[in-house]
Structure 1
Amino acid sequence: MAETPTHASAPVPAPAPEGPGLDGGWSEQRGRLRKDLRRTDLLFFLICTVVGLDTIGSVAAQGPQGLSWMVILALVFFLPYGLLVSELGSAFPVQGGPYVWTRLAFGRFVAGLNQVLYWISNPVWVGGTLCVIALATWEQFFTPLPGLWRYVAGLAFIWAGVLAVLLAVRLGKWVPIAGAVARIVLLGFFLVSVAVYAARHGVHGLTAHDFTPTYAGFVGLVPVLIFNYVGFELPSAAAEEMRDPRRDIPLSILRSGLASFVLYGGPVLGILFVLPARQIGSLGGFIDACKAVFTVYGGNVAADGTVTLTGAGSVLGAIAALGLIVGLLTSGVSWAMGGDRGQAVACADGAGPAWLGVIDEKRGTPVRVNVLSGVLASLLMVAALNLTHGNSEKYFAAGLGLAISTTFVSYVVTFPALVVLRRKFPDAPRPYRVPGGTAGAWAVTVLTTGLVAFTVADLIWPGLGVGWFGTAGNPADSLPTSFAGERLQYTLSQVVPLLAFLLVGCAFYASGRRGRR
């Protein structure tokens, strides 16, 4: 379990860090931070952040080649990304993390716009993807949510997360820790149940040919796989709340990366063994697989694939469903803890409204940004449910695509900061450096930036490159199933909000004029 520091009656404020820092109004807010994060806390925080339960079904829906691309992208993206963030996080351990890196590299205006995109992607994700999966899980295992009750349940999910983020760090850090434990227990129990199910009923045979990677599969998988591989930079947003960020950040990234790869790949393989390919959906793949394997404890699967749980199977299914909902909730909490802190630093630094940059004196957290995030997530949930007329699959596809594209546009700016800061601050202490000198730094920068840029283009225009240069497949098949034949509608669901978010970023920067003066 996490190490819990001993607290005096008044926590000790975090001192200003060494090296390049911020100006504006952040100096005043910095003294309200508390150094309550230790290495074990960071490990659990990153497991909670990186192991996303919402995309397991999306990967499994692409078939066995999903695992092949998962291994390939682990080598060409996950590893370089971890190396890149380890150097930036340990060399510039300043509160705000990615905002500070991009501000030092490209200036306050670019960093301010970039931070708004990074921050706002979390309300989109929580109000869209996470909320709809939580609602679908509740309806699968407990009771339907007709009419108004769907909105009530969605708002309860969102604001439970907001309240968790509002807590002081010494208390709030236990929420991601609980989320990491829930993931380990839930996914571990699922894999054990798959083994029992396989021993009793057999599994669907998978041939070596099924694992052959294709370009069409790559285009369909790259957004969700890379999205599930990101999040290493989040602890750096709370760098001045750590005991020893220069040492703890690289070690935590290494350990959590290895754990996350195992925790994510195992369930995908389990789903492929249990469910016929035609029954695996992006939204309900993991939920349906859980119900199927839990029949070994009580229940049956009808000829048409309908699953009925009884006795111990029903009880264990309900417990697993609650664990999944907790896992989804804590995913949103861990990302909000990082994204909201970065936005508060940006606002206090003059890249946004000064009133949003205030750190609460009692809690040491950016309460105002936290509440605004909850309001935005609530509005997006209500709007999405109305625009999609309650179509959960369409709601899920649009919300997930927008959350990924918004986050990845910000990465296109953040990742090149590595090579820029090596040139601008060559003498800054770097406890960890990307191996290979300048060539190594450029290699990880080009790989990570190129892949996230391609992902953004692929999300805006699904099927990009399919059918080109002799590749097999039809670009229309890359559209989410719920948007079949509606390419323009899907593209607008991504482009229009992205443009709106950029306008919000410009408005934020304009409103920070007084703070800059």
Structure 2
Amino acid sequence: MTQAPPIPPTEPPATGAPDQPDLPDLSEGWGEQRSRLKKDLRRLDVLFFLICTLVGLDTIGSVAAQGPQGITWMAILALVFFLPYGLLVAELGSAFPVQGGPYVWTRLAFGRLVAGVNQLLYWISNPVWVGGSLCIIALTTWEEFFTPLPGFWKYAAGLVFIWGGALAVVQSVRIGKWVPIAGAVARIVLLGFFLVSVVVFAAEHGVHALPAGEFVPTYVGFVGLVPVLIFNYVGFELPSSAAEEMTNPRRDIPLSILRSGLASVVLYGGPILGILFVLPAKEIGSLGGFIDACKAVFTVYGGSVAADGTVTLTGLGSVFGGVAAAGLIIGLLTSGVTWAMGAHRAQAVACADGAGPAWLGKISEKHGTPVRVNLLSAVLGSILFVVALNLTDGNGEKYFAAGLGLTICTTFISYVITFPSLAVLRRKYPDTPRPYAVPGGRLGTWIVSALATGLVAFTVVVLIWPGFGVGWFGSAGNAADSLPASFAGERAQYTLSQVVPLLLFVGIGLVFYAMGAKTRRRVGE
């Protein structure tokens, strides 16, 4: 049986020499690349990294569009998904603090083939996200607050957004870590100022009443909300992809998960309530909900709302609107960059280990980052952006719905494989030191794994077939109403927009694995 790199008490040695002979060996393909990593991530850096990862500004409007019950489901899922998921990653990240995080956990549990295809799905969801929903919200924000982007200029602006992020991702961790720090600060300032403005707006104009009955959770609401709410809650595993660039991953990962988890619940819940207080529920769109709410509340500093709901900002209101728009665009960009910093590192480890082409597993000697994976992601994001914008004829809402759905679906399919690793690794490697362990022994481990895995699996079904279960057995509701508004009456078109790319991604994962055959032969498998 092959041997493994050590699972170190604080820092992994540069050589990757094994001390646990029953673990797979990553040192042959990864040892040379490991020596190029730079250990510059401290506890506060990891905390900001997670805040920037968890608090995504692209889904706030989608949750608010479902009305007050979105707050109720947010609280419920915080208990039955967010908490178990955090416990799961805290144990895996502190017990196996090796570069590549989720890829390594899945590799230890299920082998290289499963882990390689799974990692491809996890990685490729990032260019889909950046070139899809993040890019379209950034462009919509620019057009709402600054100037229209007709024809060529929309394509140019989108490519600047994608490649600006790519430039940030390729930088060394010493420089690159300032991107999530800036993103976390931008979120805190933007969302905090928005909430203060909501209070001022309420004092001057009053707010929309939110009847208690609208907070009552329904199955229809759950089906509509579960994808975006759980997507809001994921990202805990990303710092583990850079575990060997941390000064003390065993200590910092669990603590950062706890603190960032509490912060993200507050930073999500407050703005969603603010949107509901400011805008009538029927006027909240999944794409522009947060943007429209910002414009409305900033009229307290200068501007007006016409009878038809059109908002005009003037004077100081216009200034604050522009600053908030810039903060939102920065927040969107840093979301993509932060996810890329984790997902790309894990993909490089997979390729160096023989689950993908070896040339993609190279770490830059100058930057200490997987530059080739980063650039390939930017190319894929650019292609997706241009193709999708043409296929939807510039329809931002349709582009947003398909892009966000595909991003979440691709990411969550990978989680369906990764999350069960917790229970499997408890059984396979019971003697591995666990600075933090899920409480409750074997039963607690199975409960946590089942809750996290079951909810993401259900979300995948709901994303591929919106309205799954609605109207069954005489229950209320119509499944067709759960389709994104931009795909009303077009179920087949929406389903194909999810299924066809997913099948393509799985095929790419198998091709990548075949391209890693030379590496696998070299390590003597």
Following the alignment from structure 1 to structure 2, what is the Cα–Cα distance between the partners of residues 46 and 312?
A: 33
Indicate whether 1:69 and 2:73 are aligned: yes
Deviation at 1:207, TM superposition (A): 1.3
Deviation at 1:14, TM superposition (A): 5.3
Residues 95-494 of structure 1: pairs in structure 2 closer than 5 A: 95-494=99-498
Secondary structure at the aligned position of 2:304 is classed as strand
Indicate whether 1:503 and 2:481 are aligned: no
Q: What TM-score, normalized by structure 1, do the two folds share?
A: 0.97
Deviation at 1:471, TM superposition (A): 2.4
Following the alignment from structure 1 to structure 2, what is the Cα–Cα distance between the partners of residues 101 and 472?
A: 42
Deviation at 1:469, TM superposition (A): 2.7
Following the alignment from structure 1 to structure 2, what is the Cα–Cα distance between the partners of residues 482 and 272?
A: 22
Deviation at 1:22, TM superposition (A): 1.5
Secondary structure at the aligned position of 2:286 is classed as coil
Gaps of 5+ in 1: 1-11
CA contact (8 A) 1:13 1:35 kept: no
Identity rate, percent: 79
Indicate whether 1:45 and 2:27 are aligned: no
Deviation at 1:438, TM superposition (A): 0.3
Following the alignment from structure 1 to structure 2, what is the Cα–Cα distance between the partners of residues 14 and 298?
A: 59
Following the alignment from structure 1 to structure 2, what is the Cα–Cα distance between the partners of residues 475 and 167?
A: 46
Over aligned residues, Cα RMSD in angstroms? 1.1
AA of the residue aligned to 2:234? V
Secondary structure at the aligned position of 2:374 is classed as helix
CA contact (8 A) 1:105 1:421 kept: yes
Single out whichever of 27-36 and 467-476 deviates more from structure 2. 467-476
CA contact (8 A) 1:14 1:34 kept: no
Deviation at 1:13, TM superposition (A): 8.5
- Cα deviation, 1:190-217, whole Å, max 9, x if unaligned, reads 0000000000000000111010000000
Secondary structure at the aligned position of 2:312 is classed as strand
Following the alignment from structure 1 to structure 2, what is the Cα–Cα distance between the partners of residues 169 and 15?
A: 21
Q: What TM-score, normalized by structure 2, do the two folds share?
A: 0.95
Following the alignment from structure 1 to structure 2, what is the Cα–Cα distance between the partners of residues 201 and 377?
A: 43
CA contact (8 A) 1:353 1:508 kept: yes
AA of the residue aligned to 1:79? L
CA contact (8 A) 1:55 1:224 kept: yes
Indicate whether 1:515 and 2:519 are aligned: yes
Deviation at 1:24, TM superposition (A): 3.8
Deviation at 1:218, TM superposition (A): 0.0
Secondary structure at the aligned position of 1:25 is classed as helix
Following the alignment from structure 1 to structure 2, what is the Cα–Cα distance between the partners of residues 14 and 378?
A: 36
Following the alignment from structure 2 to structure 1, what is the Cα–Cα distance between the partners of residues 28 and 60?
A: 43
- Cα deviation, 1:393-447, whole Å, max 9, x if unaligned, reads 0000000000000000000000000000011100000000001000000001000
CA contact (8 A) 1:186 1:320 kept: yes
1:9 is matched with which residue?
none
AA of the residue aligned to 1:350? G
1:5 is matched with which residue?
none
Gaps of 5+ in 2: 1-11
1:59 is matched with which residue?
63
AA of the residue aligned to 2:217? P
CA contact (8 A) 2:242 2:345 kept: yes
1:6 is matched with which residue?
none
AA of the residue aligned to 2:256? S
Following the alignment from structure 1 to structure 2, what is the Cα–Cα distance between the partners of residues 427 and 104?
A: 14
Secondary structure at the aligned position of 2:401 is classed as helix
Secondary structure at the aligned position of 1:300 is classed as strand
AA of the residue aligned to 2:261? G
Deviation at 1:23, TM superposition (A): 3.7
Following the alignment from structure 1 to structure 2, what is the Cα–Cα distance between the partners of residues 98 and 16?
A: 18
Indicate whether 1:78 and 2:70 are aligned: no
Following the alignment from structure 1 to structure 2, what is the Cα–Cα distance between the partners of residues 367 and 172?
A: 13
**Which of residues 27, 30, 33 is equivalent to 2:31?**
27
AA of the residue aligned to 2:108? L
Following the alignment from structure 2 to structure 1, what is the Cα–Cα distance between the partners of residues 195 and 474?
A: 39
Deviation at 1:15, TM superposition (A): 6.2
Deviation at 1:81, TM superposition (A): 0.1
AA of the residue aligned to 1:366? P
Following the alignment from structure 2 to structure 1, what is the Cα–Cα distance between the partners of residues 475 and 88?
A: 32
Following the alignment from structure 2 to structure 1, what is the Cα–Cα distance between the partners of residues 109 and 473?
A: 38
CA contact (8 A) 2:200 2:300 kept: yes
Secondary structure at the aligned position of 2:476 is classed as coil
